[in-house]
Amino acid sequence: MKHTDYDFGLVGLGVMGRNFILNVADNNFKAFGYDLDQEKVDALKTEGGNLERVNAATDIKTFVNALATPRKIMLLVPAGKIVDAVIENLLPFLAKDDIIIDGGNSFFTDTDRREAYLQEKGIHFFGSGVSGGAKGARKGPSIMPGGNKEAYAHVKPIFEAVSAKYNGEPCVAYLGPKSAGNYVKMVHNGIEYGLMQLTSEIYDILRKAGGLTNDELHTVFDTWNKGRLQSFLVEITAEIFNQKDDKSDGRLVDKILDKAKQKGTGKWTSQNAMDLGIPVPSIDIAVSMREISSLKEERVEADGLYGRPEVAPIAKEDLIAMAEEALYFAFITTYAQGLHQLADASKEYKYELDLSVIAKIWRAGCIIRAGLLADISSAYVENKDLKNLLLAPSFVPKVQKAVPSSRKLVAYAATSGIPMPGLSNSLTYFDAYTSSKLPLNLIQAQRDHFGSHTYERTDVEGIFHTEWGA
């Protein structure tokens, strides 16, 4: 085997990695995989069929020597210490200007650290978010690369070929220097948390207040997916309600325990937003709700201790109409929060992000893909310095029309004892962001009273302190 035989290497042949490398091979690039697990190596060879097109090994030297130079090696392994371990194992066999790409959900500061470390050794390194799950990896994901632009140029033809396409346009673009790719993927996942929480709340109120059956829920979400709420998450939600349970009678969704797990990217988004001073309450509460869901035994105990108000009667058709408008409103505000965070992070970390491009590459392939993103991209094309999506002229009438139903649904849920924290937080964010006067003047007075933290005035410029009560 000549070392120039293969165009692309991939470390980590789990379901995601195997599907991605087969996607590369399907697009006429020769790909070579590496994994310590012989069964995974054999599975790739079997599924790939033609070893001249796609091959794999458990020996790292064989793997590296099979690749054309500069070697292009992508890692699809769990974030954390495993990434560092794989890098160290590869280094003895690499040459100057070889390229390592981290395709996992690594924390962005780890990517910056690894890039600096490998740059000293003459090796290019960059992070590239990949979204779309296992099916997306096989058929076309959304890819979010950032880092060394010259190094990315070597991989660009491959990434553009394997990525999802929206009206023929590849859902991949160079996003910016350093850890821009991993950062954008992190915020993508934060938005994903928010949208999933919102969708679950709408499901909850439709069944508790509207008494919708799984068949009716399927019909409602399927109908919504054909309209302005068209999105991957609404699409799969409709499918979920149709899935029969293979272990007993009924639908599978009713047998799934209400404890949601998380891998950390939503939490990272929330934490970093706080570091930057950017409000993302729809994402914050989505993370918190997964944590509350884990307290199953305590929730069951508390449910027996406290009464719950009766659900007020409501016409099913009216509830469905309100729910559609409220979900549309909350989707917009959640995207607005995530994009606001990206805009400020771009300034803080010098990423040079183009939000219109980011919205474009999210239009297909990724988990948060939605018809709404075409409008979002257009809004940032019209004004690349747009401070917040809620300020976009094209979105003002959309939001104005949906706000009244959102208010009604939140009020109805509160009086009926049905938790809707995602929608409530989205509405509160909207009300606070669109208020020219907030009561935070009192907080500044309190801070100055007990801690001499000073304050500013509305009538005179400067910084002031008062000896309160003197």
Active centre residues (catalytic): 185, 192
**CA–CA separation, 31 and 157 (whole Å):** 14
Handedness of CA 57, 62, 68, 74 (dihedral sign): positive
The region that residue 12 occupies, defined by phi over 0 for left and psi between -120 and 50 for alpha, beta otherwise, is left
CA dist 321 and 311 (Å) reads 18
388 marked as part of a ligand binding site: no
Three-state DSSP class for 400? helix
211 is in an annotated binding site: no
Kind of pairing between the strands at 54-57 and 31-34:
parallel
Strand-by-strand arrangement of the 8-11 sheet: 54-57, 31-34, 8-11, 72-75, 99-102, 124-131, 142-145
Q: Are strands 169-170 and 165-166 parallel, antiparallel or unpaired?
A: antiparallel
Q: One-letter amino acid identity for 56?
A: A
> Where would I find the H helices in 350-395?
355-361, 372-382
SS3 124: strand
DSSP label at 464? B
What's the CA gap between 114 and 4, in Å, rounded?
27
Give the tokens for residue 179.
């850890």
Among 125, 90, 131, 97, residue whose Cα is nearest residue 111: 125
Most distant pair of Cα atoms in the chain: their distance:
87
Instruction: Say if residue 263 carries a ligand binding annotation.
Output: yes
Residue listed under structure tokens 């937003």: 273
Indicate the pairing of strand 124-131 with strand 99-102: parallel
Does 340 count as an annotated binding residue?
no
188 is in an annotated binding site: yes
Place of tokens 């310590």: 36
> 79, 105 in Cβ contact below 8 A?
yes
Question: What residues form the annotated binding site?
Answer: 105, 131-133, 188-189, 193, 263, 290, 447, 453
Q: Which residues contribute to the annotated binding site for substrate?
A: 105, 131-133, 188-189, 193, 263, 290, 447, 453
